[in-house]
Amino acid sequence: MYLNHDEIMPFLTDGTVVGSDPSLVNTASLDIVLGDTLLVESNKDDFWNYRPRVLDYGARENFDACKVRMTDEGFVLLPGQFVLGCTVESFNFPNNLAALYRSKSTMGRLALEHMDAGWVDPGFNGVLTLELKNEFQHHSVRIRPGDRIGQLIFMRGNAVRQAVSYATTGNYNGAAGVRQAGFK
């Protein structure tokens, strides 16, 4: 069962959610804000000799990327372009709380997609990495630090044991900024 506004509000003061504002709490979700750092996929090869690089999923290889620190001007995502971003907020989930990240409807109407990797396990702590792609074919989309980029829907359940909590087992636990794929 999802948590409502009154159940989410205490998270902003008890340390579960750090860096958020009460105005971002909705009826049954919390708006999430885009941070100022992106990892932008780049082609480091010579244009004339370009060959797509094959990434091995099992090896969790990183893609070629440049780190971009956005100013108030933001960043323009070209059609089909993929970037990793992160949230302004950081999270300290207890072992009985999980969340589902969903895109804001405005994102969808601007063809800005989150790659649906938005599950936050019990015990997670750190910032969330966001996988964003411009799905337009003929339009670029400008994103800026501070944009309400998505929302979290919270769920409470029975606490998981510490041995299997994301705090103990999670590959991306404790992230302080945007991160590519990889193991601890």
Residues with catalytic roles: 131
DSSP letter at 7?
H
Residue 102 token pair:
């969903």
Cα 124 to Cα 91: distance, rounded to the nearest angstrom: 7
Tell me, rounded to whole angstroms, the distance of Cα 129 from its chain centroid: 3
63-99 per-residue burial string, b: 16 or more CB within 10 A, e: under 16:
eebeeeebeeebbebeeebbbbbbbbbbbbbbbebbb
Single out the residue of 126, 129, 112, 128 nearest to residue 75, CA to CA: 112
Whose tokens are 């705090």? That residue is 167
Q: What are phi and psi of 97, to 5 degrees?
A: -130, 135
Give the pairing type, strands 65-69 and 75-77. unpaired
DSSP letter at 45?
S
Tell me, rounded to whole angstroms, the distance of Cα 54 from its chain centroid: 24
